[in-house]
Amino acid sequence: MGWRFVDYVEVKKTDALFARKDMLAVLAVRNEEGEFHLRLVGEEQRCVALVGRLGEFVECSAYALRPDGCRRVEAGGHACLEARRDRGIG
Ligand code: SF4
């Protein structure tokens, strides 16, 4: 693996997820600055909310609560396709 995120997508106070403390505890971790970021898991360091198999079918299990940062990239949109290309996912 060539890179690793230290902090992934931030969960801000204005995000609906921030108010859902039960879900926040599952989906996020706090960094040294006290900011919440989506939790990364596994060897691939993927978002804990992402379920399925990469390159085949994946979905966000927290779609309705996904933070603002997640909403900036649309599935199948330009940024999405570019990121897939960069990672060798067809
Ligand atoms: S869209 Fe969902 S699966 Fe993707 S990073 Fe955001 S919360 Fe995680």
Alpha carbon of residue 15 to chain centroid: 14
Ligand 1 atom with least separation from CA of 9: 5
How many Cα atoms are found within 13 Å in the side-chain-facing hemisphere of 18?
13
The closest of 35, 74, 69, 29 to 48, measured between CA atoms, is 29
Cα(60) to centroid(ligand 1), Å: 5
CB 80 within 8 A of CB 73: yes
pLDDT digits (tens, 9 = 90+) for 23-65: 999 999 999 999 999 999 988 889 999 999 877 898 999 999 9
Split at pLDDT 50, 70, 90, the class of 90 is: low
